[in-house]
Amino acid sequence: MKKLSLLLVSILCLGVLNAGAQGLIVKAGWNYNKSSVKEIKDGHSGWQAGIGYQTGTAYGFSFQPEILYKVNGLKFSDAADLNLSKIEVPLNLQWGPDLLIARPFLLAGPYFGYTFKVRGKEGIPESEIKALNRFDWGVGVGLGVNFWKIQIAGKYNWSFGTFADVKSAKDAMSHFDSLSGHPRSFEISVALRF
């Protein structure tokens, strides 16, 4: 019984040390992209992968910058799709208590992104693809939990950038009423902390 109690105390102490530990993070997950542009019928789900670094906690706060490669898309109609590949840099501030074996947290922070590859399927002219905004920026909020060396998180991103610059894209996208809406995305990720 004494050995079992010692083992349980050791596991709990290890959990406490690792729940709020700092270090490199390797993460992957699923994301879903949509937009408030009325001409965009639906979003596409995609995937993400990347690395980050989580600082140690102070008063429940920690900072986690990341560099992510994200793939998703948008659907204008049944025959017109866009596939997007982008690099995104979220700068997340986390807050949460260090519990015995886990650290649940709330997160919020800005992100900056650049879409470096846009691939249009049938129904989208090349001139419209060129008129899309490549830079994106906004804020994300979510929640997650650190358990041992694993981090699970969900986040919703609001973009402050527009889907396209309507003035410069007026000729290229004349059949759209407005492309001044904002992209949105939801993501779920699992990370391994080193």
Contact in structure between 170 and 139 (CB atoms under 8 Å): no
Cα(143)–Cα(166) distance, integer angstroms? 35
Q: CA-CA distance, 102 to 61, in Å (whole number)?
A: 15
- Higher pLDDT: 161 or 70? It is 70
pTM of the model: 0.77
Average of per-residue pLDDT across 81-92: 89
Give the up-direction half-sphere exposure of residue 117: CA atoms within 13 A in the CB hemisphere: 9
| Domains (range + CATH), the chain | 2-193 (2.40.160.20)
109-144 confidence digits (pLDDT tens): 999 999 888 776 665 666 666 667 788 899 999 999
N- to C-terminal Cα separation, the chain? 33
In this predicted structure, the answer to whether residue 29 has a pLDDT above a threshold of 70 is: yes
Q: Which pLDDT does position 34 carry in this prediction?
A: 75
| CA pair distance 60, 105, nearest whole angstrom | 9
Q: Does the pLDDT value for residue 44 go beyond 80?
A: no
DSSP string, 156-177: EEEE-S-SB-TTTTTTTTTTSS
Among 26-40, 76-90, 162-176, the minimum mean pLDDT is found in: 162-176
- Name residue 18's beta-bridge partners: none
